[in-house]
Amino acid sequence: MSEQTRTVRLPVMRRVLEANDDIAAATRAELALRGIFAIDLMGAPGSGKTALLEATLRALAGRRRPAVLVGDLATRRDGDRLARWCDRVVQISTGDGCHLEAIQVRDALAQLDLDGVDLLFVENVGNLICPVGFDLGQTAKVGLFSLTEGDDKAAKHPYFVAEADLLLLNKIDLAPHLSFDRAGFEADVRLLNPSVPILDISATTGEGLDAWLTWLTDR
């Protein structure tokens, strides 16, 4: 008896990243059950993600019980900086991965004692492009831009802007030294995300951080 092959087209209609989405959904359910508000903090390399978290942890000391996961390509530096302000920090070494995935967040959370924790910050890998496409199970996505990157970065990263629940514009202390078109930046943001709040901050001088802390407290 001879074998014959036949070519068939099989409709599938499933999400490509379904495996990641399933893990993220389980994480989201677990965090909700524990009453933990989880932020996926995304921004370009050097935009000030770690600096913002340092200032935030310092300000929240004694008021909230935060935990932090920090993705970094090759070093432990960010984790060490944050461990000075928070006793629940897990460093996720991503190697050459350019974004965090849900499985890394799930595994890092498993290393933490989450009892009593009410706030989770995840510092994503410094990258404006791909972290936004990978659900981690967060409650909110916070996008961090900084003045030194230039005023065209919102327009150049539509997905990042469209998906953000809050946008922070960092390093405003440097405004006198730069020609950043603040109105043009906001106009680009509004075309992509009409309702997202934009808060101007300086992680190093503390300017504008009250509004960010209020946003956090309101969650």
Partner 1 sequence: MLGVHEFSIAEGLAAQVLANAPAGARVREVEIRVGALRGLEPEALLMCWDSVTFGTPMAGAILQIDQRAWSITCSDCRREWTSPVPFVSCECGNATPIPSGSDELDLIAITVDEVET
Q: Which residues bind Mg ion (CB under 5 A)?
A: 49-50, 78
φ, ψ dihedrals at 32, nearest 5°: -65, -40
Q: Is 17 in the site for Zn ion (CB under 5 A)?
A: no
49 touches ligand GTP (CB under 6 A) = yes
Nearest to 39 by CA among 118, 102, 161, 123: 123
Chosen from partner 1, Mg ion, Zn ion, none, partner binding at 50 (C-beta under 5 to 8 Å by type): Mg ion
Given the rule CB under 8 A, which of 104-112, 139-147, 156-164, 199-207 is the region that contacts partner 1? Answer: 156-164
- Is 130 near Zn ion (CB under 5 A)? yes
Q: Is 162 in the site for Zn ion (CB under 5 A)?
A: no
Told to check if 200 binds ligand GTP by CB under 6 A, we report no
Could you tell me the CA-to-CA distances from 4 to 1, 8, 9 in Å, in that order? Answer: 10, 13, 17
Kindly state the smallest distance separating residue 200's Cβ from ligand GTP, in Å.
10
Query: What does the per-residue mask of binding to ligand GTP show for 117-146, with x meaning CB under 6 A?
Result: ---------x--------------------
**Distance (Å, rounded) from C-alpha 193 to C-alpha 143?**
12
* b/e sequence 147-167, b meaning 16+ C-beta within 10 Å: bebebebbeebeebbebbbbb
Region 18-47 residues binding partner 1, contact defined as CB under 8 A: 18-20
- Least Å distance, CB 96 to Mg ion, is 17
| Structure-block tokens of residue 7 | 């070519």
Q: Supply the minimum distance, in Å, between the C-beta of residue 96 and ligand GTP.
A: 15
Q: Measuring CA to CA, how many Å separate 122 from each of 4, 173, 185, 211?
A: 53, 25, 26, 20
> Are the C-beta atoms of residues 172 and 145 closer than 8 Å to each other?
no
